[in-house]
Structure 1
Amino acid sequence: MKMDVISAGRLKMRKSIYMPAENKDDMVELPVVSVLLRHPSGNVLFDTGCAPEAGEDPIARWGGLARVMQPIFGLGDTVVAQLPRFGLGADDIDVVICSHLHPDHCGCNAAFARATVIAHRAELAAARAEDGPRQGYLPQEWDIPQGYEEIEGEKDLFGDNRIVLVPMPGHSPGLTAARVELNRDGTFLLASDAAPMMCHVDETRAPKNSWDIGLATNALAEIRAEKDRGTTVICGHDDAQWQELRARKEGFR
Protein backbone atom coordinates (compact mmCIF):
# COMPACT_ATOMS: atom_id res chain seq x y z
CA MET A 1 0.00 0.00 0.00
CA LYS A 2 1.20 3.52 -0.81
CA MET A 3 0.19 6.78 0.88
CA ASP A 4 0.53 10.33 -0.46
CA VAL A 5 -0.43 13.54 1.35
CA ILE A 6 -1.87 16.06 -1.09
CA SER A 7 -3.07 19.65 -1.12
CA ALA A 8 -6.80 20.21 -0.73
CA GLY A 9 -6.87 24.00 -0.40
CA ARG A 10 -5.56 26.69 1.92
CA LEU A 11 -7.25 28.99 4.45
CA LYS A 12 -6.60 32.06 6.57
CA MET A 13 -8.11 32.27 10.07
CA ARG A 14 -7.64 34.13 13.33
CA LYS A 15 -4.62 32.68 15.11
CA SER A 16 -6.31 32.99 18.51
CA ILE A 17 -8.85 30.32 17.53
CA TYR A 18 -6.03 27.80 17.70
CA MET A 19 -3.67 29.57 20.11
CA PRO A 20 -5.70 31.56 22.68
CA ALA A 21 -2.72 33.59 23.93
CA GLU A 22 -2.21 35.18 20.51
CA ASN A 23 -3.55 38.62 19.58
CA LYS A 24 -7.10 38.28 18.25
CA ASP A 25 -6.20 40.36 15.18
CA ASP A 26 -3.30 38.12 14.12
CA MET A 27 -4.00 35.69 11.30
CA VAL A 28 -2.54 32.31 10.44
CA GLU A 29 -2.44 30.45 7.13
CA LEU A 30 -3.61 26.86 7.29
CA PRO A 31 -3.11 24.07 4.78
CA VAL A 32 -6.04 21.79 4.03
CA VAL A 33 -4.78 18.21 3.84
CA SER A 34 -6.13 15.22 1.96
CA VAL A 35 -4.55 11.76 1.93
CA LEU A 36 -4.51 9.31 -0.97
CA LEU A 37 -4.18 5.63 -0.07
CA ARG A 38 -3.59 3.08 -2.80
CA HIS A 39 -4.61 -0.24 -1.25
CA PRO A 40 -4.68 -3.51 -3.21
CA SER A 41 -8.47 -3.53 -2.81
CA GLY A 42 -9.04 0.02 -4.03
CA ASN A 43 -8.01 3.67 -4.14
CA VAL A 44 -9.06 5.57 -1.02
CA LEU A 45 -9.22 9.31 -0.39
CA PHE A 46 -9.29 10.60 3.18
CA ASP A 47 -11.11 13.95 2.98
CA THR A 48 -11.73 15.86 -0.25
CA GLY A 49 -10.94 19.35 1.00
CA CYS A 50 -12.27 22.61 -0.38
CA ALA A 51 -14.51 22.99 -3.41
CA PRO A 52 -12.87 24.86 -6.32
CA GLU A 53 -15.74 27.36 -6.23
CA ALA A 54 -14.72 28.41 -2.71
CA GLY A 55 -11.39 29.61 -4.08
CA GLU A 56 -12.98 31.44 -7.00
CA ASP A 57 -15.79 33.24 -5.14
CA PRO A 58 -15.69 32.49 -1.39
CA ILE A 59 -18.75 34.51 -0.38
CA ALA A 60 -20.91 33.03 -3.13
CA ARG A 61 -19.94 29.50 -2.09
CA TRP A 62 -19.63 29.73 1.70
CA GLY A 63 -21.54 32.88 2.60
CA GLY A 64 -20.57 34.52 5.90
CA LEU A 65 -18.40 31.53 6.84
CA ALA A 66 -15.87 32.74 4.27
CA ARG A 67 -15.16 35.76 6.49
CA VAL A 68 -14.21 33.50 9.41
CA MET A 69 -12.44 30.87 7.32
CA GLN A 70 -11.00 32.67 4.31
CA PRO A 71 -10.10 30.54 1.26
CA ILE A 72 -6.75 31.58 -0.23
CA PHE A 73 -6.07 28.97 -2.89
CA GLY A 74 -6.16 28.52 -6.63
CA LEU A 75 -7.83 25.76 -8.61
CA GLY A 76 -4.58 23.82 -8.87
CA ASP A 77 -4.51 23.30 -5.10
CA THR A 78 -7.78 21.36 -4.97
CA VAL A 79 -7.99 17.57 -4.71
CA VAL A 80 -9.45 16.85 -8.15
CA ALA A 81 -6.75 18.98 -9.79
CA GLN A 82 -4.03 17.20 -7.80
CA LEU A 83 -5.01 13.61 -8.63
CA PRO A 84 -3.50 13.56 -12.16
CA ARG A 85 -0.07 14.00 -10.52
CA PHE A 86 -0.57 10.43 -9.28
CA GLY A 87 -1.94 9.07 -12.53
CA LEU A 88 -5.54 9.15 -11.29
CA GLY A 89 -8.80 10.92 -11.96
CA ALA A 90 -11.95 11.28 -9.88
CA ASP A 91 -13.46 8.08 -11.32
CA ASP A 92 -10.44 6.08 -10.13
CA ILE A 93 -11.31 6.68 -6.46
CA ASP A 94 -13.21 3.76 -4.94
CA VAL A 95 -13.76 5.02 -1.39
CA VAL A 96 -13.94 8.50 0.14
CA ILE A 97 -13.56 8.71 3.93
CA CYS A 98 -15.04 11.88 5.43
CA SER A 99 -13.31 12.82 8.66
CA HIS A 100 -16.20 15.25 9.14
CA LEU A 101 -18.51 17.40 7.06
CA HIS A 102 -17.23 20.94 7.51
CA PRO A 103 -16.82 22.62 4.13
CA ASP A 104 -13.02 22.61 4.07
CA HIS A 105 -13.02 18.81 4.39
CA CYS A 106 -15.85 17.61 2.13
CA GLY A 107 -16.12 20.24 -0.60
CA CYS A 108 -15.17 17.92 -3.46
CA ASN A 109 -17.25 14.93 -2.35
CA ALA A 110 -19.68 15.31 -5.24
CA ALA A 111 -16.85 14.91 -7.76
CA PHE A 112 -16.39 11.28 -6.71
CA ALA A 113 -19.69 9.98 -8.03
CA ARG A 114 -18.42 6.41 -8.47
CA ALA A 115 -16.97 6.13 -4.97
CA THR A 116 -18.50 4.83 -1.74
CA VAL A 117 -18.51 7.88 0.55
CA ILE A 118 -18.26 7.08 4.27
CA ALA A 119 -19.18 9.34 7.19
CA HIS A 120 -20.10 8.83 10.84
CA ARG A 121 -23.81 8.71 11.62
CA ALA A 122 -23.49 11.43 14.28
CA GLU A 123 -21.79 13.72 11.78
CA LEU A 124 -24.54 13.23 9.23
CA ALA A 125 -27.16 13.85 11.91
CA ALA A 126 -25.47 17.14 12.83
CA ALA A 127 -25.30 18.19 9.17
CA ARG A 128 -28.96 17.30 8.58
CA ALA A 129 -30.22 19.08 11.71
CA GLU A 130 -32.31 22.22 11.36
CA ASP A 131 -29.46 24.37 12.69
CA GLY A 132 -26.83 22.54 10.60
CA PRO A 133 -26.01 25.53 8.36
CA ARG A 134 -25.57 27.77 11.41
CA GLN A 135 -23.13 25.20 12.80
CA GLY A 136 -21.03 25.34 9.64
CA TYR A 137 -22.57 22.41 7.74
CA LEU A 138 -23.28 23.81 4.30
CA PRO A 139 -25.61 21.60 2.19
CA GLN A 140 -23.93 22.65 -1.04
CA GLU A 141 -20.77 20.95 0.27
CA TRP A 142 -21.92 17.80 2.07
CA ASP A 143 -25.31 16.94 0.53
CA ILE A 144 -24.28 14.77 -2.43
CA PRO A 145 -26.42 12.79 -4.90
CA GLN A 146 -24.70 9.47 -4.23
CA GLY A 147 -25.39 9.62 -0.49
CA TYR A 148 -23.29 8.12 2.30
CA GLU A 149 -22.40 4.84 3.90
CA GLU A 150 -22.95 5.56 7.60
CA ILE A 151 -20.72 4.13 10.33
CA GLU A 152 -20.94 4.29 14.12
CA GLY A 153 -17.98 2.51 15.73
CA GLU A 154 -14.58 1.54 14.38
CA LYS A 155 -14.51 0.16 10.85
CA ASP A 156 -11.72 -1.94 9.33
CA LEU A 157 -12.14 -0.73 5.77
CA PHE A 158 -10.85 -3.80 3.91
CA GLY A 159 -10.73 -6.33 6.76
CA ASP A 160 -6.94 -6.48 6.98
CA ASN A 161 -6.18 -3.80 9.64
CA ARG A 162 -4.40 -1.64 7.06
CA ILE A 163 -6.97 1.19 7.13
CA VAL A 164 -9.09 1.37 10.29
CA LEU A 165 -11.58 4.19 10.87
CA VAL A 166 -11.61 5.42 14.46
CA PRO A 167 -14.31 7.78 15.82
CA MET A 168 -12.79 10.70 17.76
CA PRO A 169 -15.66 13.10 18.50
CA GLY A 170 -14.94 16.50 19.96
CA HIS A 171 -14.11 18.91 17.18
CA SER A 172 -17.43 17.78 15.71
CA PRO A 173 -20.00 15.15 16.80
CA GLY A 174 -18.83 12.45 14.41
CA LEU A 175 -15.24 13.26 13.64
CA THR A 176 -13.48 10.13 12.39
CA ALA A 177 -9.73 9.56 12.14
CA ALA A 178 -8.00 6.76 10.23
CA ARG A 179 -5.21 4.50 11.47
CA VAL A 180 -3.02 3.39 8.57
CA GLU A 181 -0.48 0.55 8.64
CA LEU A 182 2.29 0.71 6.04
CA ASN A 183 4.87 -2.00 5.46
CA ARG A 184 7.94 0.24 5.31
CA ASP A 185 7.04 3.44 7.15
CA GLY A 186 4.94 2.06 9.99
CA THR A 187 1.76 3.32 11.63
CA PHE A 188 0.09 6.63 10.84
CA LEU A 189 -2.93 8.35 12.34
CA LEU A 190 -4.78 10.63 9.94
CA ALA A 191 -6.22 12.85 12.65
CA SER A 192 -7.87 15.65 10.67
CA ASP A 193 -9.28 18.29 13.03
CA ALA A 194 -9.11 16.00 16.04
CA ALA A 195 -5.53 17.32 15.99
CA PRO A 196 -5.46 20.49 13.88
CA MET A 197 -1.82 21.23 14.80
CA MET A 198 0.90 19.29 16.57
CA CYS A 199 0.97 21.84 19.40
CA HIS A 200 -2.56 20.76 20.33
CA VAL A 201 -1.37 17.16 20.60
CA ASP A 202 1.76 17.98 22.59
CA GLU A 203 -0.12 20.25 25.00
CA THR A 204 -3.36 18.18 25.00
CA ARG A 205 -5.22 21.43 24.48
CA ALA A 206 -8.30 21.72 22.30
CA PRO A 207 -8.80 24.84 20.17
CA LYS A 208 -11.73 27.22 20.53
CA ASN A 209 -13.58 25.91 17.49
CA SER A 210 -14.33 22.56 19.15
CA TRP A 211 -17.94 21.37 19.31
CA ASP A 212 -17.27 19.80 22.73
CA ILE A 213 -14.07 20.89 24.50
CA GLY A 214 -14.10 17.94 26.89
CA LEU A 215 -14.45 15.32 24.17
CA ALA A 216 -11.92 17.14 21.99
CA THR A 217 -9.42 17.10 24.87
CA ASN A 218 -10.03 13.37 25.37
CA ALA A 219 -9.39 12.77 21.68
CA LEU A 220 -6.14 14.73 21.88
CA ALA A 221 -5.03 12.67 24.87
CA GLU A 222 -5.69 9.50 22.86
CA ILE A 223 -3.75 10.91 19.92
CA ARG A 224 -0.85 11.91 22.14
CA ALA A 225 -0.74 8.35 23.52
CA GLU A 226 -0.62 7.06 19.94
CA LYS A 227 2.22 9.44 19.16
CA ASP A 228 4.12 8.32 22.26
CA ARG A 229 3.82 4.72 21.03
CA GLY A 230 5.55 5.68 17.79
CA THR A 231 2.59 6.47 15.55
CA THR A 232 3.12 9.30 13.07
CA VAL A 233 0.25 11.77 13.45
CA ILE A 234 -0.87 13.69 10.36
CA CYS A 235 -2.60 16.86 11.54
CA GLY A 236 -5.47 18.61 9.81
CA HIS A 237 -3.98 22.12 9.45
CA ASP A 238 -0.36 22.21 10.64
CA ASP A 239 1.61 24.34 8.17
CA ALA A 240 5.07 23.40 9.46
CA GLN A 241 4.21 19.71 9.11
CA TRP A 242 2.65 20.33 5.70
CA GLN A 243 5.83 21.96 4.37
CA GLU A 244 7.77 18.83 5.38
CA LEU A 245 5.19 16.48 3.87
CA ARG A 246 4.95 18.28 0.55
CA ALA A 247 8.74 18.12 0.18
CA ARG A 248 8.55 14.32 0.37
CA LYS A 249 8.14 13.47 -3.30
CA GLU A 250 8.21 9.68 -2.97
CA GLY A 251 5.30 9.40 -0.54
CA PHE A 252 5.07 6.67 2.08
CA ARG A 253 4.94 2.89 1.72
Structure 2
Amino acid sequence: PHCRSKMATGIDLPALQKELKGFQGKIDSWTQRTVSTADQTRQEHGHRIKDLQGRSRELEAEHTRLERAARALETRLSEEKAQLLAAQTAAVQAAAEEAALPILLAEQRSMVEEVDRELQAQQSIVASAEAQNLAKLGALERALRLYRDRLGLHFRQDDAHRLLIGLNDIDPRQPEREFTFAVHIQGSDTYSVSNVSQELPELPELQAALQSTGNFCAFVRGMRTAFVAAVSRESPP
Protein backbone atom coordinates (compact mmCIF):
# COMPACT_ATOMS: atom_id res chain seq x y z
CA PRO A 1 0.00 0.00 0.00
CA HIS A 2 2.77 2.37 0.72
CA CYS A 3 4.30 1.84 -2.76
CA ARG A 4 1.00 2.39 -4.55
CA SER A 5 0.47 5.65 -2.73
CA LYS A 6 3.91 6.87 -3.72
CA MET A 7 3.40 6.08 -7.42
CA ALA A 8 0.02 7.74 -7.38
CA THR A 9 1.38 10.86 -5.86
CA GLY A 10 4.37 10.89 -8.38
CA ILE A 11 2.19 11.63 -11.52
CA ASP A 12 1.29 15.31 -12.02
CA LEU A 13 -2.00 14.93 -13.88
CA PRO A 14 -2.68 18.63 -14.41
CA ALA A 15 0.79 19.14 -15.84
CA LEU A 16 0.30 16.17 -18.11
CA GLN A 17 -3.04 17.48 -19.33
CA LYS A 18 -1.50 20.89 -19.93
CA GLU A 19 1.30 19.32 -21.94
CA LEU A 20 -1.25 17.31 -23.97
CA LYS A 21 -3.21 20.48 -24.69
CA GLY A 22 -0.01 22.14 -25.86
CA PHE A 23 0.66 19.26 -28.25
CA GLN A 24 -2.95 19.37 -29.45
CA GLY A 25 -2.66 23.10 -30.15
CA LYS A 26 0.50 22.58 -32.15
CA ILE A 27 -1.15 19.76 -34.13
CA ASP A 28 -4.24 21.92 -34.79
CA SER A 29 -2.05 24.84 -35.90
CA TRP A 30 -0.01 22.59 -38.21
CA THR A 31 -3.20 21.05 -39.63
CA GLN A 32 -4.69 24.50 -40.28
CA ARG A 33 -1.53 25.71 -42.01
CA THR A 34 -1.37 22.54 -44.12
CA VAL A 35 -5.02 22.80 -45.16
CA SER A 36 -4.63 26.50 -45.96
CA THR A 37 -1.51 25.84 -48.05
CA ALA A 38 -3.22 22.96 -49.88
CA ASP A 39 -6.27 25.12 -50.60
CA GLN A 40 -4.09 27.93 -51.94
CA THR A 41 -2.17 25.45 -54.09
CA ARG A 42 -5.44 24.02 -55.41
CA GLN A 43 -6.68 27.51 -56.33
CA GLU A 44 -3.42 28.38 -58.08
CA HIS A 45 -3.53 25.06 -59.94
CA GLY A 46 -7.14 25.78 -61.01
CA HIS A 47 -6.15 29.21 -62.34
CA ARG A 48 -3.24 27.68 -64.24
CA ILE A 49 -5.51 25.03 -65.77
CA LYS A 50 -7.93 27.74 -66.93
CA ASP A 51 -5.04 29.70 -68.45
CA LEU A 52 -3.77 26.60 -70.25
CA GLN A 53 -7.26 25.77 -71.52
CA GLY A 54 -7.65 29.30 -72.88
CA ARG A 55 -4.26 29.10 -74.57
CA SER A 56 -5.19 25.73 -76.05
CA ARG A 57 -8.37 27.18 -77.55
CA GLU A 58 -6.39 30.07 -79.02
CA LEU A 59 -3.89 27.65 -80.59
CA GLU A 60 -6.69 25.52 -82.04
CA ALA A 61 -8.30 28.60 -83.59
CA GLU A 62 -4.96 29.68 -85.06
CA HIS A 63 -4.40 26.16 -86.45
CA THR A 64 -7.83 26.22 -88.12
CA ARG A 65 -7.12 29.65 -89.62
CA LEU A 66 -3.77 28.49 -91.00
CA GLU A 67 -5.34 25.37 -92.50
CA ARG A 68 -7.94 27.49 -94.32
CA ALA A 69 -5.24 29.84 -95.58
CA ALA A 70 -3.16 26.88 -96.81
CA ARG A 71 -6.12 25.44 -98.72
CA ALA A 72 -6.85 28.82 -100.31
CA LEU A 73 -3.19 29.19 -101.30
CA GLU A 74 -3.13 25.70 -102.83
CA THR A 75 -6.23 26.50 -104.90
CA ARG A 76 -4.70 29.77 -106.07
CA LEU A 77 -1.44 28.04 -107.04
CA SER A 78 -3.38 25.41 -109.01
CA GLU A 79 -5.30 28.09 -110.92
CA GLU A 80 -2.15 30.07 -111.67
CA LYS A 81 -0.38 26.91 -112.85
CA ALA A 82 -3.26 26.14 -115.21
CA GLN A 83 -3.01 29.67 -116.62
CA LEU A 84 0.75 29.18 -117.05
CA LEU A 85 0.15 25.94 -118.96
CA ALA A 86 -2.32 27.72 -121.23
CA ALA A 87 0.23 30.47 -121.89
CA GLN A 88 2.96 27.91 -122.61
CA THR A 89 0.67 26.07 -125.03
CA ALA A 90 -0.11 29.35 -126.78
CA ALA A 91 3.64 29.94 -127.05
CA VAL A 92 4.07 26.50 -128.64
CA GLN A 93 1.34 27.32 -131.15
CA ALA A 94 2.87 30.72 -131.92
CA ALA A 95 6.30 29.13 -132.39
CA ALA A 96 4.80 26.53 -134.74
CA GLU A 97 3.11 29.24 -136.77
CA GLU A 98 6.32 31.26 -136.92
CA ALA A 99 8.34 28.20 -138.00
CA ALA A 100 5.75 27.32 -140.66
CA LEU A 101 5.54 30.83 -142.12
CA PRO A 102 8.61 30.59 -144.44
CA ILE A 103 7.38 27.27 -145.81
CA LEU A 104 3.91 28.67 -146.37
CA LEU A 105 5.30 31.72 -148.15
CA ALA A 106 7.46 29.50 -150.36
CA GLU A 107 4.47 27.36 -151.26
CA GLN A 108 2.41 30.43 -152.03
CA ARG A 109 5.18 31.86 -154.19
CA SER A 110 5.55 28.56 -156.03
CA MET A 111 1.82 28.33 -156.64
CA VAL A 112 1.63 31.92 -157.87
CA GLU A 113 4.57 31.33 -160.21
CA GLU A 114 2.93 28.18 -161.53
CA VAL A 115 -0.34 30.03 -162.14
CA ASP A 116 1.55 32.80 -163.91
CA ARG A 117 3.35 30.32 -166.15
CA GLU A 118 0.09 28.63 -167.04
CA LEU A 119 -1.54 31.96 -167.86
CA GLN A 120 1.36 33.07 -170.08
CA ALA A 121 1.44 29.73 -171.92
CA GLN A 122 -2.28 29.80 -172.72
CA GLN A 123 -2.99 33.46 -173.48
CA SER A 124 -4.36 32.49 -176.90
CA ILE A 125 -7.12 30.37 -175.39
CA VAL A 126 -9.00 32.80 -173.19
CA ALA A 127 -11.66 30.44 -171.94
CA SER A 128 -9.19 27.69 -171.12
CA ALA A 129 -6.83 30.14 -169.50
CA GLU A 130 -9.64 31.55 -167.35
CA ALA A 131 -10.70 28.06 -166.34
CA GLN A 132 -7.16 27.08 -165.42
CA ASN A 133 -6.67 30.35 -163.56
CA LEU A 134 -9.80 29.72 -161.51
CA ALA A 135 -8.63 26.17 -160.83
CA LYS A 136 -5.23 27.40 -159.66
CA LEU A 137 -6.79 30.05 -157.43
CA GLY A 138 -9.07 27.41 -155.94
CA ALA A 139 -6.08 25.14 -155.35
CA LEU A 140 -4.24 28.01 -153.68
CA GLU A 141 -7.17 28.71 -151.38
CA ARG A 142 -7.44 25.03 -150.50
CA ALA A 143 -3.71 24.86 -149.83
CA LEU A 144 -3.88 27.88 -147.52
CA ARG A 145 -6.79 26.40 -145.58
CA LEU A 146 -5.10 23.00 -145.33
CA TYR A 147 -1.80 24.49 -144.20
CA ARG A 148 -3.53 26.53 -141.52
CA ASP A 149 -5.32 23.43 -140.27
CA ARG A 150 -2.12 21.44 -140.37
CA LEU A 151 -0.46 23.64 -137.83
CA GLY A 152 -2.18 20.96 -135.84
CA LEU A 153 -2.59 22.38 -132.34
CA HIS A 154 -5.55 23.74 -130.44
CA PHE A 155 -6.44 23.78 -126.76
CA ARG A 156 -8.98 24.90 -124.23
CA GLN A 157 -9.33 24.85 -120.44
CA ASP A 158 -12.28 23.18 -118.70
CA ASP A 159 -13.92 23.95 -115.34
CA ALA A 160 -11.67 21.43 -113.53
CA HIS A 161 -8.52 23.43 -114.47
CA ARG A 162 -7.57 20.75 -116.99
CA LEU A 163 -5.93 21.79 -120.23
CA LEU A 164 -7.55 19.84 -123.08
CA ILE A 165 -5.16 19.64 -126.04
CA GLY A 166 -5.91 18.46 -129.58
CA LEU A 167 -3.38 17.66 -132.31
CA ASN A 168 -3.94 16.87 -135.99
CA ASP A 169 -1.87 16.50 -139.16
CA ILE A 170 -0.45 13.31 -137.62
CA ASP A 171 -2.06 10.51 -139.64
CA PRO A 172 -1.06 11.02 -143.31
CA ARG A 173 -4.09 9.01 -144.38
CA GLN A 174 -6.42 11.29 -142.41
CA PRO A 175 -4.74 14.66 -141.77
CA GLU A 176 -7.90 15.97 -140.12
CA ARG A 177 -7.91 13.09 -137.59
CA GLU A 178 -7.61 14.51 -134.08
CA PHE A 179 -5.43 13.12 -131.29
CA THR A 180 -6.25 14.45 -127.83
CA PHE A 181 -5.10 14.38 -124.21
CA ALA A 182 -5.63 16.37 -121.01
CA VAL A 183 -3.15 17.79 -118.47
CA HIS A 184 -4.19 18.48 -114.89
CA ILE A 185 -2.25 20.25 -112.14
CA GLN A 186 -2.52 18.70 -108.69
CA GLY A 187 -1.12 20.69 -105.76
CA SER A 188 2.20 22.43 -106.41
CA ASP A 189 4.12 21.46 -109.59
CA THR A 190 2.43 18.07 -109.89
CA TYR A 191 1.09 17.12 -113.31
CA SER A 192 -1.19 14.28 -114.34
CA VAL A 193 -2.00 13.30 -117.91
CA SER A 194 -5.35 11.68 -118.73
CA ASN A 195 -7.88 11.06 -121.51
CA VAL A 196 -5.15 10.13 -124.00
CA SER A 197 -6.88 9.14 -127.24
CA GLN A 198 -4.20 6.56 -128.18
CA GLU A 199 -2.24 4.01 -126.17
CA LEU A 200 1.27 5.45 -125.94
CA PRO A 201 4.11 3.34 -124.48
CA GLU A 202 6.17 6.54 -124.28
CA LEU A 203 3.64 8.28 -121.97
CA PRO A 204 5.23 7.34 -118.57
CA GLU A 205 8.63 8.61 -119.70
CA LEU A 206 7.15 11.82 -121.13
CA GLN A 207 5.15 12.47 -117.97
CA ALA A 208 8.21 11.84 -115.77
CA ALA A 209 10.21 14.34 -117.84
CA LEU A 210 7.41 16.90 -117.46
CA GLN A 211 7.40 16.39 -113.67
CA SER A 212 11.17 16.79 -113.38
CA THR A 213 11.75 19.68 -115.82
CA GLY A 214 8.38 21.47 -116.05
CA ASN A 215 9.12 22.00 -119.79
CA PHE A 216 5.58 21.89 -121.16
CA CYS A 217 6.59 22.84 -124.71
CA ALA A 218 8.94 19.84 -124.92
CA PHE A 219 6.18 17.64 -123.49
CA VAL A 220 3.71 18.67 -126.23
CA ARG A 221 6.33 18.00 -128.92
CA GLY A 222 7.05 14.61 -127.37
CA MET A 223 3.33 13.75 -127.36
CA ARG A 224 3.08 14.64 -131.06
CA THR A 225 6.05 12.37 -131.84
CA ALA A 226 4.49 9.56 -129.78
CA PHE A 227 1.18 9.90 -131.66
CA VAL A 228 3.03 9.74 -134.99
CA ALA A 229 4.73 6.53 -133.83
CA ALA A 230 1.36 5.12 -132.74
CA VAL A 231 -0.10 5.82 -136.19
CA SER A 232 2.90 4.09 -137.79
CA ARG A 233 2.21 1.01 -135.69
CA GLU A 234 -1.38 1.03 -136.95
CA SER A 235 -0.27 0.80 -140.58
CA PRO A 236 -0.15 -2.69 -142.16
CA PRO A 237 3.36 -4.11 -142.81
Is the TM value for this pair above 0.5? no
Structure with the larger helix share:
2
Where relative contact order (Cα < 8 A, 6+ residues apart) is larger, the structure is 1
- TM-score (structure 1 length as normaliser): 0.19
TM-score under structure 2 length normalisation: 0.20
